[in-house]
Chain A
């Protein structure tokens, strides 16, 4: 039962942070769009508003790194790690209680992804 209780506590904490990240990110995107609207004049028709915003996204698109490699060590590590988890699960029952915690790890990974977004935004604000 201890595992269930620990997982439940983790679950509640992670869920709150996760939902907070979604809210913050949603507000951020919404704010950027509003700023773009304000920049282009509030009475603009919808298509023009989007065009203003899209010019920025186009610029970003073209500035994508040309030499980006498609290979990723993280991908390889995740495949090996998942296979190892399954292999170990066949060796001892002890690990079975730990495997479900990795599922909460997926939610934590999304939180980390949001935090990268926020960090990049902060950095770009400072640069501006």
Chain B
């Protein structure tokens, strides 16, 4: 049944450049019509509607690696693998709702979650560690998606890794440069179409090519009936629980999502994240069938070079499928890759403008701020490309990012909902959970490490805050922060508000 498709290399280049050129055209149109200032560039003047909101949330959350991992987990664990991969993924997006609704009310003019941390605690180390967590997270998103693109293009077209990396990072950087979050939202909405529709057609064609689902189903039943069950405990213990906990940190502690919280029209915030999570589900559900099909027709892990994530590309390129189906699948994964990277670039530009440049140079003219904000995307692209192409082992980056983001989750939740949380509690909760949890994770495995990080990051902030006995924080102080484009009233450190808890150096207040 399996055969090697000889797919010309130039089609791979054509797809990468063609999709990039299409996105660039959209970006140029967006730049011309919708973007006038830094404020438009990083927050879309808070005018993103439900359509672009839902479309972009689905695409940004659909990582290239996730597209392939849904097939990979189904291939590894059967339906239980698909269950534990799919369900927590959607929940992670929908879990943004309580935090998004609360913060959008409390800080209606917000830009970044780290800006909230600064305003809430007035503690530089706490702010710096939060910014670092966000920046590391953004780089990790970019790198993982670049890796996904490499895996796909290498497996199907045989194009060298270094070439794929250079081409993809150049293309996405180029079109992300124009238009910022508006570009990201509109191109991502196009990406959602190019992910969901091909997913259906490709999966159905693959099922048809292998003789229909009945043959695959019967083969799986013969191999092990447990492959058709969603209740395998070993799948939950093997990766499911850890993944579920890690995914929550991937949304709630990620500026890519917070930027959307403040860019979407306020009356659509809740619905956007509910719909985004709910309508993300069909993507892994459909593509997971590719993994089950590979398992059913007897694809061996050795065929995949030991990397189960490659099962989707391998199957699609070894079934003798028509070229247009291979192209559709390639487009699907490339779209997932491009949309996540441009979302990450956009989030990075907001962090640079609001959390780095503006506090350092509060009186910087708008034109210069706008230029620096746009250039930050180029710089981010260069750094991400350099990291990936240097061939360094990503393990330490992944581990550090994972530890910072996981340790941020509970203190961040407490900061949003618990007025008694102090800056020392917030800071030490994060620091101690990293210092203790990371070694535990390395020595005792992911599950133990994750639980220790969560445990410490929950107990320490609560204990420190209760012992300190400070006055509860008054969230209403944050309600009247000014926007980047509101020149009157002074933007800068001179704008200092005094509150019940002392001086609040809110440069936007």
Residues of A within 8 A of B (CB): 1, 3-4, 7-8, 10-11, 14-15, 18-19, 21-22, 25-26, 29-30, 32-33, 46-47, 49-51, 53-54, 57-58, 60-66, 68, 70, 72, 74-75, 77-79, 81-83, 85-87, 89-94, 96-97, 99-107, 109-111, 113-114, 116-117
Contact = CB atoms under 8 A, between A and B. Distances in A.
Nearest to B59: A110
B101 A11 contact: no
B283 to A, nearest CB: 6
17 contacts: A22-B190, A25-B49, A26-B186, A32-B47, A33-B45, A47-B366, A50-B37, A61-B266, A78-B90, A79-B90, A82-B285, A91-B228, A93-B213, A96-B207, A99-B282, A103-B197, A109-B279
A61 B265 CA distance: 7
Contacts of B274: 72, 74-75, 78
A110 B55 contact: yes
Contacts of A46: 36-37, 366-367, 370
Contacts of B198: 11
A109 B49 contact: no
B366 A110 contact: no
B508 interface: no
Nearest to A37: B36
A19 B190 CA distance: 8
Given A57-B45, A78-B278, A86-B79, A64 B108 contact: yes
A14 B194 CA distance: 11
Interface stretch (B242-250, B450-458, B479-487): B479-487
Contacts, number: 244
B150 to A, nearest CB: 25
B51 A105 contact: no
Nearest to B51: A114
Nearest to A32: B47
Contacts of B196: 103-104, 106-107
B275 A109 contact: yes
Contact of A60 (B58, B267, B279, B486): B267
Given A54-B46, A113-B55, 15 more contacts: A19-B190, A33-B33, A46-B370, A54-B39, A60-B265, A70-B97, A75-B94, A86-B86, A96-B217, A101-B200, A103-B199, A104-B197, A105-B282, A106-B196, A107-B192
Given A51-B486, A64-B267, A85-B285, A90 B228 contact: yes
Contacts of B204: 3-4, 7, 97, 100
A61 B46 contact: yes
A4 B196 CA distance: 15
A32 to B, nearest CB: 7
B448 to A, nearest CB: 27
B208 interface: yes
B230 A99 contact: no
B58 A7 contact: no
Given A4-B205, A50-B36, A54-B485, A82 B281 contact: yes
B86 A33 contact: no
Interface string B75-116: 000010011001100110010011001101100110000000
Instruction: Tell which of A22, A51, A64, A100 has the most Cβ of chain B within 10 Å.
Output: A100
Instruction: Tell which of B29, B55, B86 has the most Cβ of chain A within 10 Å.
Output: B55
A119 to B, nearest CB: 10
Contacts of B205: 4
A114 B271 CA distance: 12
B200 A57 contact: no
A103 B283 contact: yes
A93 B217 CA distance: 6
A116 B108 contact: no
Contact of B485 (A1, A51, A92): A51
Contacts of A74: 274-275, 278
B63 to A, nearest CB: 16
B214 A21 contact: no
Contacts of A33: 33-34, 36, 45
A18 B195 CA distance: 13
Given A93-B216, A107-B196, A29 B485 contact: no
Interface string B267-281: 101100011011111
Instruction: Tell which of A1, A19, A74, A89 has the most Cβ of chain B within 10 Å.
Output: A89
Contacts of B229: 90
A103 to B, nearest CB: 4
Given A82-B90, A93-B214, A100-B204, A106 B45 contact: no
